Structure 1
Amino acid sequence: MSLGRQLLRKKAVEQLLEQSESKAGSLKKSLSAFDLTMLGIGAIVGTGIFVLTGVAAAVHAGPALVLSFVLSGLACVFAALCYAEFASTVPVSGSAYTYSYAAFGELVAWMIGWDLILEYGVAAAAVASGWSGYAQGLLEGFGIKLPVALTSAFDPAKGTIIDLPAILIIFVITLLLMKGTRESARFNAVMVIIKVAVILLFLAVGIGYVKPANWTPFMPFGFSGVATGAATVFFAFIGFDAVSTAAEEVRNPQRNMPIGIIASLLICTVLYIAVSLTLTGIVPYELLNVKNPVAFALNYVHQDWVAGFISLGAIVGITTVLLVMMYGQTRLFFAMSRDGLLPKAFSQVHAKTQVPRKSTLIVGILVAIFSGLLPLNKLAELTNIGTLFAFVLVSIGVVVLRNTNPGLKRAFSVPLVPLVPILAVLFCGYLIYSLPMLTKVGFVVWLIVGAVVYFLYGRRHSLLAKEVSRNR
């Protein structure tokens, strides 16, 4: 077989479904549409709404931040419809990696899998660092102050050596994920209800302090500022795609997957628009370049007691993001390992809990190392471009699979194909274009490293390649 044909070999949808339904090494089906919606909200509402809203308003968009959220939301809605079609048609762990295996072939699937490792792993590490900052602030409110050396990643100038709180929260999440998917989903649902209640409290109190004069000028940095703001706050929407990694653990995935993906995204978009309007209405946008803009806005109008609840809500919100990101990472590793592209340890399922415990523990250790020892500011920026790249490929994949496998049973179908997938590609492509050049270069370097890993390991261990060889 020629090298080109090897790299483009595809896995049939029927083969993927048969693999997921095999009793040997299968995952436990325990999630409902409600669980999926809570997972989506848990992954989406967190750092973006509690942290990035301030920076995006002060530096990029001004009061037009609401348009930035609309622009990012549109890109995500079109992509979410494409994800919903794939997730209901191919309810298999692995998200965009699995879909690409069916639509484009092994090399593209590996590259998108490598890309998602960046999205979930780096995002989880960066989120853990953010959680550490909020947690230390809460502890200081009770008079507890950690030694400087244990408060942040290694930085000789600041005297910091390791981010101990970040490492501790990662290991707590790791232990929870190892207990079982159902237990993790219940914990996530409780946390989601708390943080949504906190956001609604902010809106209820804050709306009385809105001054329409603060919305003038509405677009101080022009539309380019709105676009850059959209690319920045796009981080706030990352997460709904993590819902699709749970496909193999869902009861009635054909019905529940589209509900979970679309409902979580729509709920979060409405919350984001309401918060951004209220935030810029309370505080002049120039003052919002702070780490805790939502709490800051309430302090600004002397509602300090509500600000305290907001800080608690931020900690809860960031905890659920961390939970879902690490969950998505373990299921991605599970899918890639089951195909032979990663070592077997990542796809071994525990007999009692029916979760990939070894994979979960390995992911926990890796994320703990990154968040505890490495400053991740620049790496976190790569998360946005990695996710947008995945959205583009999934959207194109819907069109490809409609042409190559038109008779495939689709429980949910994207309307107006190819218009909706094309709009998803255009919106996501524009957001990629709006990102800094350094981020794009870093992403290309990451993909090159991934290609090297594939040719050194994945290509030689691919189970599909061995199967094709046996058949020949």
Structure 2
Amino acid sequence: MEEKVTYRRTLTLFQVVALGLAWMSPMIYFTVYGIAYEGSSGWMTSSYTVAAAAILLTALSYIVMSKRFSSSASAYTYVKKAIHPYAGFLVGWVVLLEYIFSPVIACLTFGLYMHAQFPAVPASVWIIGINLIFAIVNIIGIKFSAGLSKIFVVVQILFIALFCAFLIKGLAANAAAIAVQPLLPHGEWGISAILTGASIVCFSFLGFDTVTTLADETINAHKTIPRAIMLIVLIAAVMYIVVSVLTKLVFPSLSFTNGDAAGFELMRLVGGAGLQSLFISVLIMAVFTQGVIAVTSASRLLHVMGNDSTLPRRFFGKLHSKYKTPVNSIAAVCVVSMLALVLSLETAIKFVSLGALTAFVFVNGSVVVQMYVKEKRRSFSQTIVYLIIPLTGACFVGWLLTLLDRTALIMGACWLMVGILYHLYRTKPALAAIMQKRQLD
């Protein structure tokens, strides 16, 4: 009889937080700076504050469900157990978009940046090379990935602190220019711009949910995972808001020649060519760590779905006997990541956004169904925690879903249809047996 191989529980709170921040990548603040600045009409501080509050509502729902169901797989498991197995499958299928296409974004971004630095080497070479490294690092084990992520996340945070130090120096040199008024909204135009900006910068917070896929490898997961979720969201919120405040005080208005490279231009304004060069180095490091943890999270989701026989169990449900990692799932994720050779960055981002926002809506709904409806926790405080907060979070995220363009929604509908057809194919023998039994009865 074949011995069952299980994960090693080695991850501490600090390591889980590091992995979550690595997926989120704090440096994303600068990579989307131009899009966010233009979308919010310069109201970055207020937009990030609104976005942080909205994300916190959904994070609270993840905390509730991670305490109630401590096993891995995030939204897939929560919806399956709280609402219905078929609903869980559909959500898990859509969430695959977020998890599987995140490594595609990392590979593509890495290839583009490295090609810009070394034009003689084609981007495709960098994409293939980094994809192989992602596979090797993940096969070796989660502890190695956690150690690597911890170092690189600290480097990102130190860079952001250095950036803030440059801004503070600028403020000290011209203290009379400090004004709080530009940070505050005024009039209908300001509020509209802030809400539009919030819908954009929400994507800077994506990634906190991925740590729930690591529950089976985390020490004391039912306590560690909820704490990690809260810490990740709060750390990100503080960083983004502080940087936005300082930047606004130093530069009340900005304009960029290239919105996609606005972060690069901002570095030159703040710290000159030296800070600009350091920025590129840290940014490449951030992309690398985001790719490593993206492959980790995607492979864990595939493994759980394989264990449940939602996906082929023989392939996705296996762990390597030596490394205790889902090698087959890792390989599958890295094969899909080769799409970075042909896909555009915009298309990959649309897939990730659609998957993440869908997961957020249904996790909020799972809290209401499980805690308020099934378990009837309906005291005054419980009504706020298990009904009002998750419904508010679901409505806000649902509104964000409506802001996605038509192409993204059509792609999502097509992917969902593929999932429905696949589920019918997988369950065809069971359905035939049920129909035969009914005919006999």
The TM-score bracket by the shorter chain reads 0.7 to 0.9
CA distance in 1, matches of 2:20, 2:189: 32
Cα shift at 1:294 = 3.3
What does residue 91 of structure 1 align with?
Answer: 70
Report the residue type matching 1:65 in the other structure: M
Matched-pair contact (CA < 8 Å) for 1:70–1:273: yes
- Give aligned-pair identity as a percent: 24
Q: Deviations over 1:392-433 (max 9, x none)?
A: 10111011111465399xxxx996221211121122122223
Matched-pair contact (CA < 8 Å) for 1:97–1:110: yes
Alignment of 1:322 with 2:287, yes or no, is: no
What does residue 405 of structure 2 align with?
Answer: 436
Matched-pair contact (CA < 8 Å) for 2:93–2:419: yes
Cα shift at 1:435 = 2.8
Pick the aligned partner of 1:396 from 357, 365, 375: 365
CA distance in 2, matches of 1:461, 1:313: 53
Report the residue type matching 1:56 in the other structure: A
Q: How does 1:216-295 map to 2 (within 5 A)?
A: 222-283=190-251, 284-287=253-256, 289-295=258-264
Residues 278 and 299 (structure 1), Cα distance of their counterparts in 2 relative to 1, 3 Å cut: same
What does residue 151 of structure 2 align with?
Answer: 190
Pick the aligned partner of 2:32 from 48, 52, 57: 52
Structure 2 unmatched runs, 5+: 172-176
Q: How does 1:43-442 map to 2 (within 5 A)?
A: 43-46=23-26, 48-58=28-38, 60-137=39-116, 140=117, 144-147=118-121, 150-151=122-123, 163-209=124-170, 222-283=190-251, 284-287=253-256, 289-301=258-270, 303-344=272-313, 345-367=315-337, 369-403=338-372, 405-406=374-375, 416-442=385-411
What does residue 36 of structure 1 align with?
Answer: 16
Q: Secondary structure at the match of 1:116?
A: helix
* Higher helix content, 1 or 2: 2
CA distance in 1, matches of 2:271, 2:336: 42
Matched-pair contact (CA < 8 Å) for 1:31–1:251: yes
Aligned length: 419
CA distance in 1, matches of 2:68, 2:386: 16
Matched-pair contact (CA < 8 Å) for 2:299–2:333: yes
Matched-pair contact (CA < 8 Å) for 2:137–2:145: yes
Report the residue type matching 2:58 in the other structure: A
Residues 289 and 231 (structure 1), Cα distance of their counterparts in 2 relative to 1, 3 Å cut: farther
Cα shift at 1:460 = 4.4
Kindly report the root-mean-square deviation, in angstroms, between the aligned alpha carbons of the 2 structures: 2.8
Cα shift at 1:175 = 0.5
CA distance in 1, matches of 2:248, 2:260: 15
Residues 271 and 50 (structure 1), Cα distance of their counterparts in 2 relative to 1, 3 Å cut: same
Q: Secondary structure at the match of 2:321?
A: coil
CA distance in 2, matches of 1:91, 1:27: 14
Structure 1 unmatched runs, 5+: 1-22, 152-162
Cα shift at 1:388 = 1.4
Residues 88 and 381 (structure 1), Cα distance of their counterparts in 2 relative to 1, 3 Å cut: same
Matched-pair contact (CA < 8 Å) for 1:48–1:237: no
Cα shift at 1:439 = 2.5
CA distance in 2, matches of 1:112, 1:292: 35
Cα shift at 1:306 = 1.8
